[in-house]
Structure formats: structure tokens, C-alpha cells
Copies of this chain bind each other. A is one copy, B any other.
Amino acid sequence: MGGTRTSGDRRSPGARGRIDKRQAILDAAFTVFAREGYAQAGVDVIAAEAGVAKATVYNHFRDKENLLREAVAASADQAMAENMAVVGRLSTEDGDLRARMEDVGLRLLRCYCDERSWALRRLLSGEINQFPDLLDIVHGHAVDRVTEALADRMARLTVAGALRARDPLVAAEQFVALLTGPAETRSRLGTREVPDAELRAVARAAVDTFLQAFGAETTDR
């Protein structure tokens, strides 16, 4: 949570537990919370899934609420790292822009459609009324950062003459929307497994539309 580090040294002052156990608990907590929802999830179940005694859970985390926050934060950090790695591939180097954008689009879609990614979004949506601060943890550190990184790349591409995005942030926002929107309906909120071929088609369609609007070359047809 507190930066770009995946996890590890965030042991709160009082807790003195083994680190591997802590990680196992976080993983199990996320899994169970995502599967059953916060209220339905039992700490007993989380402990069992982590292969740990219930008391150990309370040794590492103050209470159930705190456990939820930390589990979500860890998962969001991981998801953001994957997304940022993909965006980094959209460099300003030469080569076929369309092909590179389709590649990036497809990889972003794979991140987006990952089971844990869906689970995170569903969990966030469901518990956001009870825990409004979850939104800051996830959005402030994940979604917005990715879109802005994408906007940076698009600004560079515009300066280089490969694109004409008057407002790079809007362009990035729309590119993401063209990917995630169709993916959302197609995967039925993450309950359906979307075959890779379909993801490729979505990415191609998104890039098509995007380049018609923001491409430098006047693509006829």
C-alpha cells in the first residue's frame, strides 16, 4: 500500500508475526472476502484457508475490518504493478503503431479480465458503502495512475507526430473505456471466461475506433 513495494515490511508496530504467515493470511483473506463478501466471510474460514490458527490472524491484524483493508490494498498494489508494466510497453519507438497498440490493448484486457482483478472490483463495489476509504486505497493507487501513465505515452506520441490527441487524458480515458466496456459486458461482470480470441477482437475493434479518431495518418475507409 504505502508506495510501489509489493508488500513485506509493512508490519505494524505491535504485531510481531512471521512474515510468510502474514502473507498467507492476506492471500486467504482476499480469496475468501472476494468469494463470500465481507459480512459473510468468517475469520475461521480465512484462518483455515491460510493454514493458520484463528488467534494468529488476530496476532497480525487488529480486527476483521483492518484485515479487509490490508488485503485489498495488497491486491490493488499487485494489480497496478501488472497494469503499469503493460503501459510501459507503449514506447515512442518506431514500428507499426497500430500493431503496438493492439498488443498493449490485448495485454491490458488480459489484466482486466484476470480472475483476481474481477474479484477486486466486485469486492470494492459491494463494500464501498461500508468502507468508503477502500476507494482511496484502490483508485488513488491504481486506476488513475494507470490512465495517467497512458496519457503520458499518448502525449509523447502526439509530439512525435504519430498521433493527434488534443487532450491526451481524454484520449487515454476513452482508449481504456473502449477496452474495458466491451470486456465487461462480454465477461458478464467476470463470471464468464472470455476466450483469448474474443479479447483479441475487442482489442482490434478498440484500436480501430481509436485510430480513426486520434490517428495521424488519415486512415481512409
Residue of B nearest to A35 (CB): B129
Residue A91, interface by CB 8 Å = no
What's the tally of chain A residues with a CB closer than 8 Å to chain B? 44
**Across-interface contacts of A12 in B (CB, < 8 A):** none
Near B by CB (< 8 A), chain A positions 9-49 give 34-40
Give chain A's interface residues, CB within 8 Å of chain B. Answer: 34-40, 121-130, 132, 135, 139, 143-144, 147, 170, 173-174, 176-178, 180-182, 185, 188-189, 191, 205-206, 208-210, 212-214
Residue of B nearest to A201 (CB): B170
Show 14 A/B contacts (Cβ-Cβ < 8 Å), sorted by A.
A37-B126, A37-B127, A37-B130, A40-B130, A121-B125, A123-B126, A124-B189, A132-B191, A135-B191, A143-B185, A177-B177, A177-B182, A212-B212, A213-B213
Residues of A contacting B: mostly: helix
Cβ distance A190 to chain B, nearest Cβ, rounded Å? 8
- Top-6 shortest CB links A-B: A126-B126, A177-B181, A39-B39, A125-B125, A212-B213, A209-B213
Asked whether A129 lies within 8 Å of B181 as measured between CB atoms, the reply is no
Q: How many copies does the complex hold?
A: 2
**Across-interface contacts of A39 in B (CB, < 8 A):** 37-40
Cβ distance A76 to chain B, nearest Cβ, rounded Å? 14
Asked whether A37 lies within 8 Å of B129 as measured between CB atoms, the reply is yes
**Across-interface contacts of A208 in B (CB, < 8 A):** 213
Alpha-carbon gap, A191 to B135, bound state (A):
9
Complex partner residue of A205 from B125, B170, B206, B210, CB under 8 angstroms? B170
Asked whether A182 lies within 8 Å of B173 as measured between CB atoms, the reply is yes
**Across-interface contacts of A189 in B (CB, < 8 A):** 124-125, 128, 135
**Across-interface contacts of A185 in B (CB, < 8 A):** 139, 143-144, 147, 173
**Across-interface contacts of A205 in B (CB, < 8 A):** 170, 174
**Across-interface contacts of A210 in B (CB, < 8 A):** 209
